[in-house]
Structure 1
Amino acid sequence: MKDKTIDYILRATWQAVSRMYNEEASKYGATMATGFALLSMDKEKGTPSTSLGPKMGMEATSLTRTLKSMEEKGLIIRKKNPEDGRGVLIYLTEFGKEKRELSKNTVLKFNDAVKQSIPEEKLMHFIEVADIINELILDKNIFNRTSVNELTDQSEKIENEISKIVSTS
């Protein structure tokens, strides 16, 4: 733990997960971004294109490229939003729904593999620690000098959670 920073662990883990999903998606001529987009879209009602970027944490240019590719592959169709003439709703085609189901099963398979390999209590601690990290980031106080005491409190919570995880190993 002393050799690696928390951001390194998070980044390395996410890169491994991303690589795993991209390898699996490539078997079907897709990418992780495509699978994630499919899972982020409403199966029946259509999804406003403007809501996808924030939902997926994706920049507009990357999202545009992903959606264009998905449209070319016949996974989605775009229709004008009847409630907002300027907006566009994105609908899954039948082929898109099939691929969405495949993406869903891939994610569930990964979740099951993790759950079978890691005791529930450790997973709960992991989720708690991840939630605290997200709160720290959302509060935008990490680099604010007035929040040093709060950071110390959060840091102690994280250290306690990590100690619990290590002691149950």
Structure 2
Amino acid sequence: MSANFLPKTHIDALVTAALWWGDPDRGFRYHHGGPRHVTRENATRVGRMLWQANWDWTMGWVDPADYDDEDGDLRSELEGYVFEELPGEPNPLLVLRALACYVYQTATDEPDVWRTGEAATFVDYLQAQAVRRLPGIETMPWYVEQRDAFLRHPAAAGPAGRGQG
């Protein structure tokens, strides 16, 4: 496991995507012990929850003194967190990568503990929304019935190849 306290902008990016992809009237919906919504009114609370989860897991691995900076310690920055929306429409690929980073930096080595938290639930729902917005996803078959499906729908060129997943 890595041990990095993520920057505020990283958290703001995740909350911005949730606001963009939520219902215009009710906000971005996810479930954790019942339905939850991300709205402009509670975006700061949700962002603070996400950043707090990152802090909680990160600080179990490193000395908080290592995170002092000229503006004061990060603990006070976390406690003073106020959501600031990022400009522009969220790119689902960027959001998926940011979510992967968030999970890598935040999820504990105890998956059963991580899975029970609100941050994990938020991540699952936001990830599902990002996948639904991937370019070209609607052109893919819903059921895979043909043995040559990968030949009919080849992967885009990229860094991952056979055995590198």
Using structure 2 for the length normalisation, give the TM-score: 0.29
Q: From the two aligned structures, give the one with the greater strand fraction.
A: 1
Q: From the two aligned structures, give the one with the greater helix fraction.
A: 1
Using structure 1 for the length normalisation, give the TM-score: 0.28
